[in-house]
């Protein structure tokens, strides 16, 4: 699902100066834009695609104030809210690099001729979920293929069976949660050893409706209007088995752009996430980070946590500018 909301500038801005440039257009980035606008900062959002990870799901039922809302509608609400506070949103642009100039501003360069300056930067680029890369995965995205058990488990309430792929904490936590919603959970893992915490492993083994399918990989996802089965191959025997399921949850981790972060001078942890403190500050002066690209709350990735981090990052950018004597309220109408 690709969102194309509002007008897309034919050319990215050149030579313009901003109080804060937000790189990324998911919940963290748009939340940061809302708060930056409320602090009267001249704000720009630079996004390859507005929506971020929300573009990989259909319905949201765990965001306060919305009992159930389409992800695309929630993104539109975020975007319109940010624009209401005068945030400029530029889509279909990719930031390639930035560096600090002698004046203390950051020069930001990217595709479509992007060349601007900002006193502060908020990194909110998210982190791409790893995919299986098998037939049917793309075709049934949002039609039974999910990448977040914690997010989507309630949507499968009362279903006969689902599959969970993975051997880490997220896979086990998802399988345990799903076992309370569906009649049968198949936990598929390519090995017979797990990375998950022993507590999760023992808890999953104690659930009578969780079946382990080990030393196995998914070869294909089948269905009609939605997922109906998965074809699993045993890596040792080569035997294939088609398992009827109503959905498949792919929990095999994330891939943050570690090399890019490090090329910008950002400090990361061993797996590539940007190191931040509780105020979303990075190791670079005036550069903050929020959402799934950070080390904050690594085990719990949700829309609400991303939005919270975006709000904190915007406040920290405002506070940084105020402390440096660089804050001047931005009013587009000049009043």
Give catalytic residue positions.
148, 151-152
Are 137 and 38 in contact, with CB atoms under 8 Å apart?
Answer: no
Strands 145-146 and 248-250: parallel
Q: H or E stretch including 219? A: strand 216-223
DSSP letters of 13-63? -EEEEEEEEEE--SHHHHHHHHHHHHTT--EEEE-SSTTGGGGG-SEE--B
Q: Is 310 helix (H, G, I), strand (E, B) or coil?
A: helix
């Amino acid at each position: 699902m690709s969102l194309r909301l509002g007008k897309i500038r034919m050319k990215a801005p050149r030579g313009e100066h901003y109080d804060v440039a937000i790189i990324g257009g998911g919940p963290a980035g748009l939340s940061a834009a809302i708060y930056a606008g409320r602090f009267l900062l001249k704000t720009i959002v630079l996004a390859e695609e507005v929506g971020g990870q929300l573009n990989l799901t259909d319905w949201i039922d765990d965001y306060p104030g919305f009992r159930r809302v389409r992800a695309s509608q929630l993104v539109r609400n975020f975007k319109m809210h940010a624009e209401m506070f005068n945030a400029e949103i530029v889509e279909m642009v990719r930031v390639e690099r930035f560096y600090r100039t002698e004046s203390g501003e950051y020069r930001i360069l990217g595709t479509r001729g992007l060349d601007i300056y900002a006193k502060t930067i908020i990194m909110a680029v998210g982190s791409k979920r790893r995919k299986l890369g098998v037939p049917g995965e793309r075709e049934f995205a949002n039609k039974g293929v999910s990448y977040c058990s914690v997010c989507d488990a309630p949507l499968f309430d009362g279903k006969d069976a689902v599959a969970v792929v993975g051997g880490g904490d997220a896979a086990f936590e998802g399988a345990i949660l799903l076992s309370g919603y569906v009649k049968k959970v198949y936990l598929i893992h390519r090995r017979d050893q797990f990375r998950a915490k022993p507590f999760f492993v023992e808890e999953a083994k104690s659930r009578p409706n969780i079946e382990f399918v080990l030393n196995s990989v998914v070869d294909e996802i089948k269905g009609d209007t939605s997922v109906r089965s998965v074809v699993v191959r045993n890596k040792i025997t080569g035997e294939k088995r088609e398992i009827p399921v109503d959905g498949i949850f792919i929990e095999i981790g994330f891939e943050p752009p570690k090399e890019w972060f490090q090329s910008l001078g950002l400090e990361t942890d061993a797996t590539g996430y940007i190191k931040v403190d509780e105020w979303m500050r990075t190791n670079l002066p005036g550069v903050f980070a929020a959402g799934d690209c950070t080390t904050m709350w690594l085990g719990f990735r949700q829309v609400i946590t991303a939005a919270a981090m975006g709000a904190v990052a915007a406040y920290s950018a405002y506070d940084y500018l105020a402390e440096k004597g660089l804050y001047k309220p931005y009013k587009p109408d000049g009043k």
